[in-house]
């Protein structure tokens, strides 16, 4: 094999590895987005069970912190059971609470939220609170609700058959 043939073979191998690494990165990102939607759907199911029992949702905070709401869902057995099947990667290290697939805290949007845009989402959802993930950029911001998944809104999994 000549030096030119070896150089061509190495170049082709480099191109193939470059393409495969891009595909793997895209696949991992899509898997995390799918897991985030699954988490939001599970939280919505747990919220349904909680509301059916207590006839009200856990209270929200103006800043949208989901910690207290998630703790309330985990404290009530039947709603906690809806969250049992979630992967361990979504649980905080100390065993309490849940985070999104990127390790960021979730947002719990209620009528008490400080943002009028967020409150209007709850009104559109018949007054029912909504959980959100910050998405791959790990921060809630001006890209909320965009198709690129910068933020993953709970409406992606809301059940159409829910009353």
Neighbours of 138 (CB within 10 A): 14
**Stretch 4-14: mean pLDDT:** 88
Answer with the residue of higher pLDDT: 141 or 162: 141
Cα-based distances in Å from 102 to 33, 106, 141: 9, 10, 16
pLDDT of 155 reads 78
pTM equals 0.80
Average pLDDT of the chain is 85
The 10s digit of each residue's pLDDT in 42-101 is 999 999 999 999 999 999 999 999 999 999 999 999 999 999 889 988 887 665 589 999
């Amino acid at each position: 094999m000549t030096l030119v043939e070896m150089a061509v073979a190495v170049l082709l191998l480099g191109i193939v590895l470059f393409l495969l690494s891009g595909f793997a990165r895209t696949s991992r990102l899509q898997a995390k987005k799918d897991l985030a939607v699954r988490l939001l759907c599970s939280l919505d199911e747990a919220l349904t069970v909680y509301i059916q029992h207590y006839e009200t949702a856990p209270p929200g905070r103006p800043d949208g912190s989901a910690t207290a709401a998630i703790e309330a869902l985990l404290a009530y057995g039947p709603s906690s059971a809806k969250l049992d099947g979630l992967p361990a990667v979504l649980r905080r290290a100390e065993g309490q609470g849940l985070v999104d697939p990127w390790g960021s805290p979730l947002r719990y949007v209620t009528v008490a939220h400080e943002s009028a845009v967020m409150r209007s989402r709850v009104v559109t959802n018949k007054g029912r609170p909504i959980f959100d993930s910050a998405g791959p950029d790990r921060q809630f911001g001006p890209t909320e609700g965009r198709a690129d998944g910068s933020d993953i809104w709970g409406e992606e999994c809301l059940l159409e058959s829910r009353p």
